[in-house]
Structure 1
Amino acid sequence: MSGNHKMILDQAEITKRNNVKILGEGQKIMIMAHGFGCNQTMWRFLLPQLTPHYKIVLFDYVGCGSSDCQAYREERYNCLDGYAQDIIEICDAFDLQDCIFVGHSISATIGWIINQQRPELISHHIMVCPSPCFINIDDNYSGGFDMQDLEGLIGLMSQDYLGWGQYLAPIVMGSELPDDASQADEKESMVWELLNSFCAMDVTFSLPFAKACFYSDNRHLLKHINRPSLILQSSDDLLVNLNVAEFMANEIPDNQLDIIESKGHCLHMTNPANVMESMKRFLATQSPSL
């Protein structure tokens, strides 16, 4: 089997596994990695301004969106490294290097793991509401949640998945869940969208992913992020407080912290114009070609 033929087979297999889509006209590559319980469609508000200038790589993590759930392996996806490996394999199959990595929430952390394992794949990090650790550790680091609170959240997820989604979706989106979806305004309709995305994810896949997200402590990776980084943080985010954003800004060697006045954890959906302006300013300072 020739190398080219093997590459074609790998592309087809990985495209199916992760529902990979490549859009856009630019030469510079931008990988957009969605957060826990989400999918690639949630980047749609940024795409009109990005696709004329960048080659955009979209995908769904296995178990999310329109990925191939038959590809799920518990031993691979019970830690964040398995999700990082998926992105590395996407890059290898499509010969992608020197990419701008845009990661929402836990995907920012997954980007740091990729940076450590395969530094040639990422040129810049753009992090949307990231957190290296959601746990309150000590007086020097308050991630936002006591361990017993996280254990209660994970317990609710395993016992009452719909109830868990109805509790978490409004927190993540920063808006109430309306009783009647047909009467919801734009932001309220996004809560329904997120809830539907949560519920479309089988708990067999989502529970190990949730544990990997909420129980991990990745603060040690921050000092090793040797790429220019933009941290985009909501001013009122019940999952990631401003102290966490400032902690990351103090730890990451070359970074810019932009705090955007907003509620919720999904700035790319609720405040896409402000996110886009911050991204443009950041990339303009890096190189005229970006």
Structure 2
Amino acid sequence: MTLDVRERNNIKVFGSGSQTIVFAHGFGCDQEMWRLVAPSFEEHYRVVLFDYVGSGKSRLGDYDSDKYNDLQGYAQDVLDVMETLELRNAVFVGHSVSGMIGMLASIREPHYFERLVMLGPSPRYMNDLPDYYGGFDKRDIEELLTMMQMNFVGWASYLAPIVMQNAERKELAEELEQTFCSRDPHIARQFAEVTFMSDSRDSLSQAEVPTLILQCADDSISPAEVGEYLHARLKNSRLEQMTARGHYPQLSHPEETSRLIKAYLTGA
């Protein structure tokens, strides 16, 4: 099983610290999203990168549409990685939907986790008005999923600049678009549906692991109201407002991203 999971999830391990920090990518991406952040931790941490099954250089043949029709399927990937590497009391850094995936994994097997860091997380992307604002109406999400099915490349070129922001740095949106396009269209669409239709709000009260919520400015995927909602309902949570704009600060503002994570972990 150990070798199988290492290959299945394309696990990479480097660094020399006594504590392990695990970086998990979001929807439509892979571990390359962390290339500007992860190396700055290798002096003091053992750093783990991986791809969810269906993403990056994971083994696509292991993709199971039934298993991954729920965020718990992705949480199982996280737990498999933790078990394979025999981790305890690790720091888990999850971007976007991986914030909730990590939280769900920590509820199931808390001994693997000492801290959670959520970068642009959301427990529910769809509005549930008047009590909850997630940023998207149901029709918005349905149109997005239809566009993915009808014109996958067009969907990628449409969405990438919107979620990246930083219009003056076009190379960032271009990289994100290429990353989106490199995914298997059928797997990507299912991951999108699972992500944008998910609702983890009822699980928030079960989460016990101390958590840092990093809230980006002008984030079209996870607006400020979502960060405040999470902070109010997650025990032992801390909310930090970033100057970084958009939904991918690990690419657009890697220095700020690294600095805030390090400050949290060292108690600064």
**TM-score grouping bracket, smaller chain normalisation:** over 0.9
Task: Quote the offset at 1:257 in angstroms.
Answer: 0.7
Given residue 162 of structure 1, which amino acid in structure 2 is its aligned partner?
Answer: V
* Aligned position for 1:106: 97
Q: Give the number of aligned pairs.
A: 268
CA shift digits 1:144-187 (9 cap, x unpaired): 000011001011011110111111111221144xxxxxxxx7x3
* Aligned position for 1:267: 249
1:222 aligns with 2:207: no
Does the aligned pair in 2 maintain the 1:236–1:261 contact within 8 Å?
Answer: no
Does the aligned pair in 1 maintain the 2:23–2:38 contact within 8 Å?
Answer: no
Distance in 2 (alpha carbons) for counterparts of 1:285 and 1:140: 34
1:14 aligns with 2:5: yes
* Aligned position for 2:128: 137
1:242 aligns with 2:224: yes
- Aligned CA RMSD, in angstroms, stands at 1.2
1:200 aligns with 2:182: yes
Given residue 212 of structure 1, which amino acid in structure 2 is its aligned partner?
Answer: V
1:33 aligns with 2:15: no
Task: Quote the offset at 1:81 in angstroms.
Answer: 0.9
CA shift digits 1:85-139 (9 cap, x unpaired): 1111111112112110100000001011101111111110001000000001011
Alignment of 1:73-92 (within 5 A): 73-92=64-83
* Aligned position for 2:110: 119
Distance in 2 (alpha carbons) for counterparts of 1:172 and 1:57: 26
Change (3 A) 1:285 1:175: closer
Query: Structure 1 unaligned runs (5+)?
Result: 1-9, 177-184
Distance in 2 (alpha carbons) for counterparts of 1:214 and 1:47: 27
Task: Quote the offset at 1:223 in angstroms.
Answer: 2.0
1:94 aligns with 2:85: yes
Task: Quote the offset at 1:207 in angstroms.
Answer: 1.2
Q: TM-score, normalised by structure 1?
A: 0.90
Distance in 2 (alpha carbons) for counterparts of 1:98 and 1:172: 32
Task: Quote the offset at 1:239 in angstroms.
Answer: 1.0
Identity fraction in percent: 36
Instruction: Name which of 39, 42, 45 aligns with 1:48.
Output: 39
Distance in 2 (alpha carbons) for counterparts of 1:148 and 1:191: 25
Q: SS state of the match for residue 266, structure 2?
A: helix
Instruction: Name which of 68, 80, 85 aligns with 2:59.
Output: 68
Q: SS state of the match for residue 128, structure 2?
A: strand
* Aligned position for 1:276: 258
Q: SS state of the match for residue 142, structure 1?
A: coil
Task: Quote the offset at 1:140 in angstroms.
Answer: 1.7
Instruction: Name which of 208, 226, 233 aligns with 2:215.
Output: 233
Task: Quote the offset at 1:262 in angstroms.
Answer: 2.4
Distance in 2 (alpha carbons) for counterparts of 1:88 and 1:99: 12
Q: SS state of the match for residue 66, structure 2?
A: helix
Query: Structure 2 unaligned runs (5+)?
Result: none
Q: SS state of the match for residue 136, structure 2?
A: coil
Given residue 2 of structure 2, which amino acid in structure 1 is its aligned partner?
Answer: Q
Does the aligned pair in 2 maintain the 1:165–1:198 contact within 8 Å?
Answer: yes
Q: SS state of the match for residue 265, structure 1?
A: coil
Q: TM-score, normalised by structure 2?
A: 0.97
Instruction: Name which of 227, 236, 240 aligns with 1:258.
Output: 240
After TM superposition, where is structure 1 displaced by more than 4 Å over at least 4 residues in a row? none
CA shift digits 1:167-220 (9 cap, x unpaired): 1111221144xxxxxxxx7x3212111111111111121111111100011111
Given residue 237 of structure 1, which amino acid in structure 2 is its aligned partner?
Answer: D
Task: Quote the offset at 1:74 in angstroms.
Answer: 0.9
Does the aligned pair in 2 maintain the 1:171–1:239 contact within 8 Å?
Answer: no
Task: Quote the offset at 1:11 in angstroms.
Answer: 2.1
Task: Quote the offset at 1:44 in angstroms.
Answer: 1.0
